[in-house]
Amino acid sequence: MSPIRSRLKLTLYSSPSNTGFDTLRRESVLERVRSVDAQAREEGLASLVSSEDDLIPVGMEINEMGEVTKNGYGVLNLPWLTEQHPEWVGLVREEMRQIRAAIQEEHGESLRYLIWVGMGGSAEDKAFYQSAGLFSTGIRVYILDSTDPAKMKAILDHIEATAKQPLKIALRRTLIVGMAMGMTSYEPVLNLEILHALYRKLGISSQANFIYMTLPESILDRFGRRCGFRRVELQPDNDNTTAGRHSGPLTRGSLYPLALAGCNLSKWMSGAILDETEVMAAFELAGFLQENGLEGRDKLTLFLPREWRGGAVWTKQDFEESLGKSENVGIKVAIGEQIKPSNYFPPKEPMQDRCFLCVNVRGLSNPEATKVNVLRRTGYPLAVLRLHGDVALARYMQFIHYTVFGLAYLRRMNFVTQPNVELYKTIAGKIYTTAKKVGGTTRTKAWRTAVDGAHSIRWRGGLTVHLDALHRIGAISEEDFRSENGNAAAIYATVLHALLAKGKISYGELTFFGDTRYQSPGKALLRTLNQAAEAVFRSRLKMPADVYEGPAMNHSYHEMIIGYGHGFSTVLLSEKVALLKKVDYPPDYHLAQWLATQEALARRKRAVVGITIRDLSDRSRQTVKEFFAEVGRRVGHRRS
């Protein structure tokens, strides 16, 4: 075996017959997709007839008249083009030199900080790189992926503390990059607007400090032009054929922060180019997932090396946002768990709905081999991916892209669009527009209905459970509200049991709408929610549970929650939201997003509960812990 091919190895255990892989190979999908993509780029979209090749509706956007309006295969073609354009490495390096030089010339200061402003796919690859230590040298990278003023405040406070200089000086040394690969993404615009206002307030010339990457005529593009920011093309080929979640590993959205952090771009870019054997391994995994999905094992439980924990959400998003559109078939990626067979149904049980993917990378702290062997010996469907080399992370990302594409082809599903994400964004925009007219989100009808209405139940310690969305979809009756003397934890457990018995749900979700990346109280609450997920969903109900931060999750995997469904969502919010006093930045859009999440799910008949807590104090977190502990006791243990 050649040295290149040995960089990656996939082994399958207890695998059903892999007819999906046979299909991908027999139908020459790799060769055909290269041909279709080449035709789109060289002959134009008008040369494509969507009915003549089933690869076109899988990876391109098509209008109501059947005309191809966008090629979405940039996620695959960028590595192919990278091979043909070795000069791209030098191109990106020169652009980095120019960015540094512009800041030096304008302020007499060297670049020291990078604030990356984006949501979901525009941010998760950076979180992956940061967790893997790729930003440990060079500049400091901050990810602003929320409209919670607390997150921006934490970032600015940390920059000021690290610089040991007034913020006015530190911001001169800061590059701010806005990125949005959706036409309607407003969050980056709001954050850029606030940061730009801060520069003006402090009297800092900002021409060299702001750049942005987006689609032509998007909300961000129009805003950036008004402000005079410099627009940078996302892709080195200056095309727009990638979705946000597909921007890593080879768009400027991924390459810029890596280059600024001192990454060897030549190795990185070449590492993202998979040979045919490696692509076939990805297709083999796609077939494995397809066969397990057909057998009802649609919960892919992912275990990564400890150093790659940040890549779990990136992987989850790539699968779920790409493949979550159908109510009939889905693939839920379970992350953040320990290998714990006691939380799973036995392999032969009809209710066993999991398969497993363990990723081992040479030199890293990989999933515990003894426990992985237990999964294998016990007979659970298991895939083990082994990687090594200087840029295994880049290779992993491209491998996952090919796996998602292969699975999309087998399911005849478009993997580049995200229609369900747009619903939540539209609702949030309408609430926010109203909020600006009436003096704040808490004065809107949407807030009064969801929070101050008849279907909210106070528990204790300032925790209130909001059940209006469940009531609207018929998951809870007026009689239910009077049961158990109005005990909110008991009612929560009753509804959870009822939906589970009806086969309406098969996983849980606990999302805190607030900063869990930089502020200690938010991090602590996230740990509390992980304990709750274990106490209620994983150990007692043998169900996976997502635990994450909102509204970033709405861009990361909202497609699966709304599209495929089967989730029991709980979204938490602190009544005391930090304000950014340096400039006027109220939390109105952030609150609107919390409301919009519940509204979007309710409109699609998905189960969602809102919870508000008084603040992020130790006492409030203890209250959250006690609430879910009581829920766990009441749901008991789910038996086969």
pLDDT in tens, 520-569: 999 999 999 999 999 999 999 999 999 999 888 777 778 888 889 899 99
Residue 577 pLDDT level (bands cut at 50, 70, 90): confident
pLDDT of residue 585: 86
Neighbour tally for 485: CB within 10 Å: 6
Task: Please give the distance of CA 78 from its chain centroid, rounded to a whole number.
Answer: 21
CA 482, 486, 492, 495: dihedral to nearest 10 degrees? Answer: -10
* pLDDT at 5 exceeding the cut of 70: no
Mean pLDDT of 16-22: 91
Mean pLDDT of 230-251: 94
* pLDDT at 480 exceeding the cut of 80: no
Q: d(Cα 271, Cα 279) in Å, to the nearest integer?
A: 13
Q: d(Cα 278, Cα 275) in Å, to the nearest integer?
A: 5
pLDDT of residue 390: 81
* pLDDT at 83 exceeding the cut of 80: yes
Of 136 and 398, which is predicted with more confidence?
Answer: 398
Q: What phi and psi, each to the nearest 5 degrees, are found at residue 208?
A: -90, -5
Residue 579 pLDDT level (bands cut at 50, 70, 90): low
pLDDT of residue 580: 67
Residue 514 pLDDT level (bands cut at 50, 70, 90): very high
Mean pLDDT of 256-273: 96
**pTM of the entire structure?**
0.95
pLDDT of residue 6: 64
Q: d(Cα 570, Cα 563) in Å, to the nearest integer?
A: 17
pLDDT in tens, 430-452: 999 999 999 999 999 999 999 98
Bridge-based pairing state of the strands 464-466 and 607-613: antiparallel
Q: d(Cα 356, Cα 303) in Å, to the nearest integer?
A: 8
* pLDDT at 4 exceeding the cut of 50: no
* pLDDT at 598 exceeding the cut of 80: yes
Bridge-based pairing state of the strands 545-550 and 382-387: unpaired
CA atoms within 13 A of residue 135's CA, in its CB half-sphere: 22
Q: Which of 242, 179, 186 is nearest to 214 (CA)?
A: 179
The three-state (H, E, C) secondary structure of 263-317, written as one string: CCHHHHHHHCCCCHHHHHHHHHHHHHHHHHHHCCCCEEEEECCHHHCHHHHHHHH
Q: What phi and psi, each to the nearest 5 degrees, are found at residue 503?
A: 75, 20
579 neighbors 149 (Cβ within 8 angstroms) = yes
User: Residue 58: what residue type?
Assistant: V
Domains assigned to the chain: 5-15+276-411 (3.40.50.10490), 95-263 (3.40.50.10490), 419-635 (3.40.50.10490)
pLDDT of residue 481: 77
Q: d(Cα 71, Cα 40) in Å, to the nearest integer?
A: 7
Radius of gyration of the chain (CA): 24
Residue 618 pLDDT level (bands cut at 50, 70, 90): very high
pLDDT of residue 17: 86
* CB under 8 A, 24+ apart: contacts of 447-454: 447/591, 447/595, 450/595, 450/598, 450/599, 450/610, 451/610, 451/612
Question: Which tokens go with 525?
Answer: 């609450």
Burial grade of 123 (CB within 10 A; 0-12, 13-18, 19 or more): buried
Going by the DSSP 8-state scheme, the letter that residue 419 receives in this structure is H
Helix (H, G, I), strand (E, B) or coil at 17: coil
Q: d(Cα 508, Cα 492) in Å, to the nearest integer?
A: 13
Residue with tokens 């998602």: 404
Question: Which tokens go with 606?
Answer: 């998905």
Q: What phi and psi, each to the nearest 5 degrees, are found at residue 334?
A: -90, 125
Q: d(Cα 132, Cα 130) in Å, to the nearest integer?
A: 5
* pLDDT at 338 exceeding the cut of 60: yes
223 neighbors 188 (Cβ within 8 angstroms) = no
Question: Which tokens go with 405?
Answer: 């594409």
pLDDT of residue 477: 82
* pLDDT at 69 exceeding the cut of 90: yes
Q: d(Cα 36, Cα 51) in Å, to the nearest integer?
A: 13
Q: d(Cα 396, Cα 209) in Å, to the nearest integer?
A: 32
Q: Packing angle between helix 87-107 and helix 252-260, nearest 10 degrees?
A: 60
pLDDT of residue 289: 97
Neighbour tally for 326: CB within 10 Å: 14
Neighbour tally for 209: CB within 10 Å: 25
Peptide bond into 249 cis (omega under 30): yes
Residue 3 pLDDT level (bands cut at 50, 70, 90): very low
* pLDDT at 238 exceeding the cut of 90: yes
Mean pLDDT of 305-331: 93
Residues in the chain: 640
333 neighbors 325 (Cβ within 8 angstroms) = no
pLDDT of residue 520: 94
Residue 639 pLDDT level (bands cut at 50, 70, 90): low
Mean pLDDT of 286-292: 97
pLDDT in tens, 377-393: 999 999 999 999 889 99
What DSSP line would sit under 470-530, residue for residue? HHHTTSS-HHHHHGGGG-HHHHHHHHHHHHHHTT--SEEEEEEES--SS-HHHHHHHHHHH
Q: Which of the residue ranges 256-265, 471-480, 495-504, 599-608 would you say has the lowest mean pLDDT? A: 471-480
